[in-house]
Structure 1
Amino acid sequence: MERRRPQPDFLIIGAPKAGTTALHSALAQHPQVFATTPKEPKYWLCDDAPPPHWRGPGDKHSQKEWVWRRTDYDRLFEVAPAHAIRGESTPFYLYSTSAQRRIAQELPGVKLIAVVRDPIDRAYSNWMHLWCDGLEPVADFPTAFRLQDKRAHDGWAPFWRYRELGLYGRQLDHLYGLVGEDRVLVVRYRDIVDEPAATVDRACRFLGIEQGHVGHIPKDNSRTYVEPGWRPKVLGPVVRGGAWLAQFAPPEVWRKSYPPLLRRLSGPGDHHRPRLTPEQREQLLPAFAEDIELLTKVSGQDFSDWLSTSSRGSFQERAERLSEPA
């Protein structure tokens, strides 16, 4: 039997805060799937060279965990069982046109899963993730959203690009030109929440493996909400300073010291995570309306519901609504 080259058979390529972690965790339960650890190697964002020197809060620590050497990347797949299909999930691949080109050139047979979410809800969840981690210094989402271009100019990493990460029409149009539509599966976040078993089975059909093995998708990686006030004003700079210092220490040092800081930042109790108001959504819609139209055109699916001024809430909120008795 010919030995397979240690590389992925599928990639979950995006988008960040759109359910990629949930889908990755679900597929990892399948007996015919091998999923890498770490989940997000980020290899195809690099070019066999270290990642750029991003300058946003926490960026330098984060990039220490990027797998940028091909030998290290291949090693992630060497331990996969011979029968398993192998995959990894780096949600920034969809956003990065250079990563798309590298994947198309180096992995001519790989299958790609793109998970997309209402781009305003996605951007808000992205901001919420960074705010609750103590890394986002701006307590008002619309204000932080407007800072994207300045932050990009200043060298902040892709995760800070609240608008650009949600331009799926442009991203998929570029990707289809490289690999063709038959190698790409577009999955909607709402289907992961509303129809988890059917959505996993759809992914399994696309990957050519047995259906019916996974009936549950784990909760997404949401954060405990941090209310604006003295805690983020006092402790936020401490967290950001610690994340900056962490670049000079092994990653496990920050992983041990960070959770206690985060607990102090969030404070006691389970704080309510506010939704975006209809007025806030209406202000943000022009940033995405044209791309939503393009996405509908290139994908053949209807995404006009994203033009609504109503927020759909977090993964947990939506799952709880579904579980309520009729």
Structure 2
Amino acid sequence: MPDATVPAAPLQVASPFLCLGVPLSESPRLPLPDFLVIGAMKCGTTTLYHDLRRQPGVALPDKESNGLLQSDPATAYRRWFGQSDETSLRGEVCPDYTKPGLDRRAALAARGLYGSGPKPKLVYVVRDPIARLLSHHYFVSTQHGEANPGGMTSDLDSSLRDFPELIETSRYASRLAPWVEAFGKESLKVVRFEDYVLDRRPTISDVAEFIGLKTTNLASIDPGRVDNPSATRPVATPGWRRLLGSPLYRRWVRPLLSADTREGLRRRLLPKPPSRPAAPSEATLARLVETLTPEVEALRRLLGSAEPWWDLDQAWRSGAYSSAPAVT
């Protein structure tokens, strides 16, 4: 498996305006996001999305709108933010931006869009990489259709063999590399999931300060509410996904429903997920600890921390991964 410390190839930056023969200095001003929450998957980004959208003066499109991965990101951002108040803080929450295979593409698109203008603030949430992997596996293996395109099963060992993204998404330093190359470490704030779920209001206060949000409403954050927990997240059926993707729904129905209303309907109408799979074998956990411990160290070096954020060997020996809840 790749070593997180091996430098990636340099980003080759392109601007969406260069293909039109328009120099960056003469390109029209785009209403770009002021901040991007770029991941990581199954690290609380849905809860963070809802905590942020409840703050005054924050403009957010739907979570995982993935503007940077669209064929025409500039048009997408004009559609989402073109009518937003100039005083609003625009943002996007898209964990796909640090998924393996998409991270460099997203960072390259962002670099081209922002050019020499103000850099976006980047927020990246991380958790114990083995706990994240187990939650990732449980979530995808319970889905159907396009949400589980490779047919991932509940068998962890076969899934680790057939779906390398389970481990690669937990290589946090590697996933951040193209973003740091594009915008520098000074544009990045890494949030530890375990701190966030322990007390969300101080974390939101810290994130708000980092992204430049001057006014917050921390009372809007319900400490007892966790959005999108894998253990209770309804399973979207193929028919439900076709409905949500239909032009009729997206144009006429969806705009009339708030995010909370849509979530309530989803929970009432869709089936609950199956029980969690069996705990990983000791041999599997030993391999994961051996594989991902260097990644914890790579993240420590990137952040300049005095100590690693997790001790995977200690967590394994204490039984944490045998009973770790799939929280998000």
Q: Give the TM-score of the pair, scaled to structure 1.
A: 0.69
Among residues 112, 126, 134, which one is paired with 1:124 in the alignment? Answer: 134
Alpha-carbon offset, residue 213 of structure 1: 2.0
Q: Are 1:113 and 1:184, in contact at CA under 8 Å, matched by a contact in 2? A: yes
Alpha-carbon offset, residue 287 of structure 1: 2.8
Q: Counterpart in 2 of 1:320?
A: none
Among residues 88, 91, 94, which one is paired with 1:90 in the alignment? Answer: 94
Listed one character per residue, the Cα deviations across residues 272-300 of structure 1 (whole Å, up to 9, x for unaligned) are: 67655655422322332222211111112
Aligned residues: 267
Question: Superposition RMSD on alpha carbons, in Å?
Answer: 3.6
Structural mapping, 1:163-174, within 5 Å? 163-174=167-178
Q: Counterpart in 1 of 2:111?
A: 104
Alpha-carbon offset, residue 239 of structure 1: 5.1
Alpha-carbon offset, residue 98 of structure 1: 2.1
Whole-angstrom distance in 2 between the partners of 1:168 and 1:137: 22
SS across alignment from 1:186: strand
Q: Counterpart in 1 of 2:69?
A: 45
Among residues 179, 183, 191, which one is paired with 2:183 in the alignment? Answer: 179
Whole-angstrom distance in 1 between the partners of 2:285 and 2:107: 30
Residues 7, 142 of structure 1: CA spacing in aligned structure 2 closer, same or farther, 3 A cutoff? same
Q: Counterpart in 1 of 2:288?
A: 284
Q: Is 1:8 paired with 2:15? A: no
SS across alignment from 1:30: coil
- Letter of the structure 1 residue corresponding to residue 123 of structure 2: I
- Letter of the structure 2 residue corresponding to residue 141 of structure 1: L
Whole-angstrom distance in 1 between the partners of 2:266 and 2:54: 28
Whole-angstrom distance in 1 between the partners of 2:201 and 2:294: 32
Whole-angstrom distance in 2 between the partners of 1:24 and 1:248: 21
SS across alignment from 1:5: coil
- Letter of the structure 1 residue corresponding to residue 325 of structure 2: S
Q: Counterpart in 1 of 2:16?
A: none
Q: Give the TM-score of the pair, scaled to structure 2.
A: 0.69
Alpha-carbon offset, residue 224 of structure 1: 4.4
Residues 39, 178 of structure 1: CA spacing in aligned structure 2 closer, same or farther, 3 A cutoff? same
Among residues 140, 148, 165, which one is paired with 2:163 in the alignment? Answer: 148
Structural mapping, 1:1-326, within 5 Å? 5-36=30-61, 38-46=62-70, 49=71, 68-95=72-99, 96-107=103-114, 108=117, 109-134=119-144, 135=148, 136-149=151-164, 161-210=165-214, 213-215=217-219, 216=221, 218-224=225-231, 250=247, 252=249, 262-263=270-271, 266=273, 271=275, 276=280, 279-301=283-305, 302-307=308-313, 308-309=315-316, 310-311=320-321, 313-314=324-325, 316=327
Whole-angstrom distance in 1 between the partners of 2:42 and 2:228: 8
Alpha-carbon offset, residue 16 of structure 1: 0.9
- Letter of the structure 1 residue corresponding to residue 227 of structure 2: D
- Letter of the structure 1 residue corresponding to residue 92 of structure 2: E
- Letter of the structure 2 residue corresponding to residue 219 of structure 1: V
Q: Are 1:116 and 1:189, in contact at CA under 8 Å, matched by a contact in 2? A: yes
